[in-house]
Amino acid sequence: MTSKRSPVRTAPFRIALTLSAILAGGFFAFASPAYAQGLPGMGGKQPVEINADQAIEWHQDVRAYVARGNASAKRNDSTVFADVLTAYYREVPGKGNEVFQLVADGNVRIVSPNQQVYGDHGVYDVDKQVAVVTGRDLKLITNKDVVTARDSLEYYEAQDLTVARGDAVAVRGNDRLRADVLIGRLKKMPDGTTQMERIDGSGNIVVTTPTDVALSEKLVYSVADNVAVLIGNVKITRGDNQLNGEAAEMNMNTKINRVIAGRDAGGRVSGLLIPGEKNGPGAPAGKKQ
């Protein structure tokens, strides 16, 4: 019985082919998870260049194309690298083959001009327009930010949402946001690019700046204003000084914090101000209370 698998081998293997033949336009949505700047011009049937050290295989039994051995797929200025790249397709009457799922396995790295994503495993669901990267040492690096997560980095293309799950941390300069889950809300710009507009955090929030450490249950961070709103059991410390309330606003530019009392606190905030400390948690750094 002859095998239905048809490997094509060279070392290294290089082939240029149209996107409609093997890969769908959603493939490079892998490059747009948490805190992405967007990838304009990824639609349409533009060529994708596939490279593999070992083989490119056509698995007719499972309806898949597989590139093995230091595999890469490049389109425009974006490239996906992995040990193995797999495209699963279905047959559409009158239209030929249609890719519905794309999988990257082993040493996954997605590179574009504005960001790099690292993980062990990546899956893009073409129908749902959802990309999920998982594995050890998950990381997204942009021109301004570094985002890490324990469980997954996800991108929901139709909703313009990015999600980092599990001990998620976003670092910009000397400021650091940590939460169980961080959700980035993207906004399409007039020039066709996508920019981060807002970050929502939930669960075990910790905001760290050079002067302050703040704890809360929820977070809403305005990227343009560089202002974080903290909600639920807020505690802000600066040195040995401390302020407590139900909500707070932290301005990362002015270094001024405003704490708001909740109803459970009887309409008041509480604080511990230590004599001799120059800066309280609500004052600008470098100024006395």
The average pLDDT across 209-234 equals 92
Predicted confidence band of residue 76 (pLDDT cuts 50, 70, 90)? confident
Predicted confidence band of residue 264 (pLDDT cuts 50, 70, 90)? low
pLDDT per position as a tens digit, 41-58: 223 345 567 789 999 898
Q: Give CA–CA dist 89/99, Å, rounded.
A: 4
> Is the peptide bond between 12 and the residue preceding it cis, with omega within 30 degrees of 0?
yes
Q: What is the mean pLDDT of the chain?
A: 76
Domains, the chain, in order of start with CATH, read 1-157 (2.60.450.10), 173-289 (2.60.450)
User: Is residue 161 a contact partner of residue 186, using CB atoms and an 8 Å limit?
Assistant: yes
Q: Give CA–CA dist 28/73, Å, rounded.
A: 9
Q: What is the pLDDT of residue 16?
A: 28
Q: What is the pLDDT of residue 9?
A: 41
Confidence check: pLDDT of 7 > 90: no
AA letter at 229: V
The average pLDDT across 129-145 equals 88
Confidence check: pLDDT of 11 > 60: no
pLDDT per position as a tens digit, 13-22: 333 232 222 2
Nearest CA to 131 out of 31, 24, 198 is that of 31
The average pLDDT across 216-234 equals 92
Predicted confidence band of residue 244 (pLDDT cuts 50, 70, 90)? confident
Specify the 3-state DSSP secondary structure of 289. coil
